[in-house]
């Protein structure tokens, strides 16, 4: 059916109280498996490639494979860049046909995160590409950096609203207690915090660290405003 920009899927998802699955892909088999599963369920899907997967497969190879399968798919498919670290990486991926990008400079001071994300939004929107930004720091391995407990910090509702308004992003990744990779202790997902963020921020919210997050928390998070759920570790 088609390759689409992420906003085409996520805006109706947030309004309709459902989420779209976003799965990391790194070779032809993983791309085929994710697209086939989505077709089997007649559901749209997001194929994600992060810096690690792009370096492993080669950016040109993985994007050509993903685009080929996406264009032949019987369901809408997004090709999304996950956790990009620089403007240059974002532009290379847009040039290779990605329909959505995430810039994750959430480790930088707030003002620098805003400035860098804003720059990406301006360039990406000029190309019809959607942008996901991140505020707060999610635990586990993130963008090649190991975020140990002392560096994790939660997204705050007021700053989330300010960040969305200042940057013009299309989707916001929130830090509410999920972690990238497997959990080392019992998950403690702050759904009350998510509810407060969702009350302030109308754009689709993104739940990173889907692997190992209890189904009941994922369902509740979706009902509160999460429109994209990221899964990587469980697929590898
Ligand atoms: P998991 O590896 O925990 O599934 O997280 C995936 C993710 O959030 C990718 O951005």
Task: Please report the sign of the dihedral spanned by the C-alpha atoms of residue 183, residue 27, residue 172, residue 166.
Answer: positive
Q: How far apart are CA 58 and CA 156, in angstroms?
A: 37
Q: What is the DSSP letter of 140?
A: E
Q: Which of 82, 221, 231 to mutate to test the pocket of ligand 1 (most atoms within 8 A of CB)?
A: 231
Order across the sheet with 139-142: list the strands: 145-147, 139-142, 179-180
- The tens digit of pLDDT for each residue in 135-165 reads 998 988 765 667 777 667 899 999 999 999 9
Q: What digits encode the pLDDT tens for the residues 103-112?
A: 999 999 999 9
pLDDT tens digits, one per residue of 52-85? 999 999 999 999 999 999 999 999 999 999 999 9
Residues 6+ apart with CB under 8 A from 35: 45, 47, 69, 70, 73, 75, 77
Confidence band, pLDDT 50/70/90 cuts, at residue 100: very high
Ligand 1 in contact with 228 (CB < 6 A)? no
Phi, psi of 94 (to 5 degrees): -60, -40
CA 116, distance to chain mean position in Å, is 17
pLDDT reported for residue 148? 72
Residue-level pLDDT at 2:
87
> How far is ligand 1, taken at its centre, from the CA of residue 148, in Å?
15
**Average pLDDT of 34-50?**
98
Looking at the chain, how many residues does it have? 236
Ligand 1 site, residue 80, Cβ cutoff 6 A: no
Q: Between residues 7 and 1, which one has the greater pLDDT? A: 7
Half-sphere exposure of 127 (CA within 13 A, CB side): 20
CA 211 from centroid of its chain's CA atoms: 14
Over the stretch 165-223, which tens digit does the pLDDT of each residue have?
999 999 999 999 999 999 989 999 999 999 999 999 999 999 999 999 999 999 999 99
- Find out whether the beta carbon of 208 lies less than 6 Å from any atom of ligand 1: yes
On average, the pLDDT of the chain sits at 95
- On the question of pLDDT at 15 being above 70, the answer is yes
Interval 20-24 mean pLDDT = 98
Is the CB of residue 181 below 6 angstroms from any atom belonging to ligand 1? yes
| Span from the CA of 211 to the centroid of ligand 1 (angstroms) | 6
pLDDT at position 212 is: 96
Q: Which two tokens stand for residue 115?
A: 């400035």
Q: Which residues contact 61 (CB under 8 A, 6 or more apart)?
A: none
Q: In this predicted structure, what is the pLDDT of residue 142?
A: 61
82 catalytic per annotation: yes
């Amino acid at each position: 059916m088609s390759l689409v920009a992420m906003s085409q899927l996520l805006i109706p998802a947030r309004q309709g109280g459902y989420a779209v699955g976003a799965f990391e892909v790194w070779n032809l088999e993983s791309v085929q498996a994710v697209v086939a599963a989505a077709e089997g369920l007649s559901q749209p899907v997001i194929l994600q490639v992060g810096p690690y997967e792009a370096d492993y497969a080669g950016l040109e190879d993985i994007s050509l494979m993903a685009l080929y399968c996406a264009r032949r798919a019987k369901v809408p498919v997004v090709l999304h860049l996950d956790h990009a670290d620089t403007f240059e990486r974002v532009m290379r991926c847009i040039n290779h046909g990605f329909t959505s990008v995430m810039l994750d400079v959430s480790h930088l001071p707030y003002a620098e995160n805003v400035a860098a994300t804003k720059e990406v939004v301006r360039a990406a929107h000029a190309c019809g590409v959607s942008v996901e930004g991140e505020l707060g720091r999610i635990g586990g391995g993130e963008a090649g950096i190991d975020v140990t407990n002392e560096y994790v910090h939660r997204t705050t509702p007021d700053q989330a609203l300010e960040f969305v308004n200042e940057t013009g992003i299309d989707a916001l990744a929130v830090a509410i207690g999920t972690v990238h990779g497997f959990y080392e202790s019992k998950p403690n997902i702050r759904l009350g915090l998510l509810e407060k963020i969702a009350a302030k921020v109308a754009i689709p919210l993104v739940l990173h660290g889907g692997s190992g997050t209890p189904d009941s928390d994922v369902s509740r998070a979706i009902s509160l405003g999460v429109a994209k759920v990221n899964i990587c570790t469980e697929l590898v």
